[in-house]
Chain A
Amino acid sequence: METLTLLLQGFGTALTIQNFLAAAAGALLGLVVGAMPGIGSLAGVALLLPLTFKFNPVTGIIMLSAIYYANMYGGSYSSILINIPGDSPAVMTAIDGHPMAKKGEPGKALFTSNLSSFIGGTIGIIILTITGPALARLGLKFGPVEMAALLMVAMTSLGWLLGDNPTKGVVSTLIGVLIATIGFDIVVGTPRYDFGSLHLLGGVSFIPLVIGMFGFSQVMEMMEPAKNGDSIDMKLSLKDSILNKSEMRRLLGPSIRSSFLGTIIGILPGAGATTGSFLGYMTEKKVGKNKDKMGTGVLEGVAAAEAANNSAAAGAFAPLLSLGIPGSGTGAVLLGGLLMYGLTPGPRLFQNEPEFTWGLIASLYVANMITLFVALSIIPFLIKILKVPVKIMVPIITAVCIMGAYSASNSLYGVMLMLASGFIGFHLKKNNYPIAPLLLAFVLAPTLERDFRRSFLISDGSPWIFFQKPIACGLIIFLLLTILSPLFRKLFAMTKKKRPPQGVSDSTLSPA
């Protein structure tokens, strides 16, 4: 009941004209940027981050969240129409979405994607409303030892999940931590690792780093020969896109199933929308009514993937707001945005900043509605958005990166930092080092260091303190299992190789 009252108060904040317009603008911008192939949600949010400077913290974060949220919708469009996922969570959408478009049902695939995204988002936000405060209450019981253990889990599991090589995920994570140590020591306030530079004394600025790592590195990547997407020689109209009654019934089951699964994945620290959409799709393939046809262009596949990734995106707000732990790289940008506005996400956010917290949660409901409305309205114009040539996008995005980085720092240092991080980010990506863990680690490192050092201060230097507290001990065991999982996988693969194939042994044993 208390939650409902607070949520209603939140709607009071979210529905002020300024906040409503910010959510609407965020939804439109997020959809358009998300729909453009090759940009992706992370680069989209990073590029649009400077636009929120104008507003007060509540409006700024509401707009940023709407951009993030709408990006999740937009990422599927290029998956469906030209078989190039706008971002990684939309990879699973292409499996059935593009064959649907090829069969002459592009509008229906888009409509399914939008509607299941809406269902996923709604269920995810409802669960966030319930679990957010509960998680925050649990978080209040966490001391520095538990918090340090939880942060280590969040950092490593993301490093492990992304990319083809866990070693590279860890390297990325550790680089992010080291970059965060530049500037003032947050515990004692003394300068360190500034190497005599006045700019480095203030630490590495978040926005130029993000714009460079995700926006500018993407521009450099766009200069490489494009993956050949399918040409778009189809016509889209809203009338042909609307689903009939039986199609709506087929959509509902997978959407609801995937929404619950996706939200749970989203709430887990370190797991995000990509994992959510993968598991949502795979579950539908196992239990769905139309499981045998999955992959051939059926709407159940689109619905399962899209509902799961949007619900995971909404669910990820729970650990972000209540524990200060983002579930993905984009979540890390949001966390950075919150910190930039002087808001510290964590167990006390719900207590200390109820107007902001509940305003943000309520704004997600509003943004979800607006995004659905905008998403359905732009279906007829999607072909034009997708046809914007890379040749034009490269100089325009470069210019936006330069201006955004300058405006964040009001100095050329910001632009140089952006260019340097873009250059580094491009080369890391080129060598299959995932860069989302770097950003996540950069954002989480100050909190981790503070709690890590406090833990060692309490234990007088003994690392055993992490095994003396039950929650921390459980988390550390989970962490160790995650770290050792590649080794287990290798051992498992080796024993599987050594064992003769089942069919051979059966035939050898069976009488002729």
Chain B
Amino acid sequence: MKTLKLNTRLIIPVLTFAVGVLWVVYGLKNYGWWDQGPGSGFFPSIIGIILAGISIIALLEGIKMPAPEYVKASWYPFIAAFATVGLAMIIGFFPAMFLFLEGWLKIYEKYSWKKSLPISIITTAALYGIFAMWLMVPFPAGVIFNAIRG
């Protein structure tokens, strides 16, 4: 199992500190603190100040802690989902879903065709039945289908 050490114990508080400061600066500059009453930036700025302060405490606590170990494989669904969405824009949502399911089971999990195909077909059909037929969600058909249709 390939692992990766990433010191997110420190990265996260640094990011939350930055977000807190951004909210305060942006809020005070653009939306205002008080104008005959609390302005649009009043509440977010207060929360931003508290977040920045708490983030410093979280950072100090994080320094003492070991960095968590990441399994590289946990990012695979994220990457695969991105690729599937890109593919969906070209060949349509349901063919892309089928290819994702089949590809995952076949390539990553090393399932046989006999085992993977029924799972991919049944899942895609169930998703089509629920989302396209029952909930009537208009999924994009993809550029290829649109080009053929004119």
Contact = CB atoms under 8 A, between A and B. Distances in A.
B130 A192 contact: no
B82 interface: yes
A229 interface: no
Given A51-B130, A402-B81, A402-B97, 19 more contacts: A171-B51, A177-B47, A178-B19, A178-B23, A190-B31, A190-B40, A192-B40, A193-B26, A223-B73, A225-B71, A391-B105, A398-B77, A399-B127, A400-B127, A407-B135, A423-B78, A427-B8, A428-B12, A453-B43
Interface string A223-235: 1110000000000
Interface string A374-403: 000000000000000001101110111111
A28 to B, nearest CB: 15
22 contacts: A51-B130, A171-B51, A178-B19, A178-B51, A193-B23, A220-B74, A220-B75, A220-B77, A223-B77, A225-B1, A391-B109, A396-B123, A402-B84, A403-B97, A403-B137, A407-B135, A416-B85, A427-B8, A427-B12, A431-B9, A433-B12, A461-B34
Contacts of A185: 31, 40
A422 B85 CA distance: 15
B92 interface: no
Interface in A152-209: 165, 167-168, 170-171, 174-175, 177-178, 181, 185, 187-188, 190, 192-193
Contacts of B26: 193
Interface residues of B, number: 63
Contacts of B82: 419
Contact of B71 (A168, A177, A224, A449): A224
Given A51-B130, A171-B58, A422-B78, A399 B123 contact: yes
A457 B43 CA distance: 12
A398 B100 contact: yes
B78 A419 contact: yes
A403 B88 CA distance: 11
- A contact patch SS: helix
B78 to A, nearest CB: 6
B135 A53 contact: yes
Q: Is the interface of B mostly helix, strand, loop or mixed?
A: helix
Given A193-B44, A391-B109, A399 B97 contact: yes
Contacts of A165: 61
A192 to B, nearest CB: 5
A220 B34 contact: no
Interface in A21-45: none
A392 B75 contact: no
A410 B78 contact: no
Contact of A403 (B78, B104, B105, B127): B127
B119 interface: yes
Interface of B: 1, 8-9, 12-13, 16, 19-20, 23, 26-27, 30-31, 34, 37-38, 40-44, 47-48, 50-51, 54-55, 57-58, 61, 68, 70-71, 73-78, 80-82, 84-85, 89, 93, 97, 100-101, 104-105, 109, 111, 119, 123, 127, 130-131, 134-135, 137-139
A399 B98 CA distance: 9
Nearest to B67: A431
A430 B135 CA distance: 35
A192 B43 CA distance: 12
Interface in A201-219: 216, 219
B44 A192 contact: yes
A221 B135 contact: no
A396 B16 CA distance: 32
A50 interface: yes
A238 interface: no
Contacts of B34: 461
A194 B11 CA distance: 24
Interface string A55-85: 0000000000000000000000000000000
Q: Which 10 residue pairs of A and B lie closest in terms of their CB atoms, listed nearest first? A: A395-B104, A407-B137, A223-B74, A174-B51, A453-B38, A185-B40, A181-B44, A223-B73, A457-B37, A449-B43
A415 interface: yes
Nearest to A433: B12
**Which of B55, B76, B78, B138 is the most central at the interface, judged by chain A CB atoms within 10 Å of its CB?**
B78
Contacts of A403: 93, 97, 127, 130-131, 137
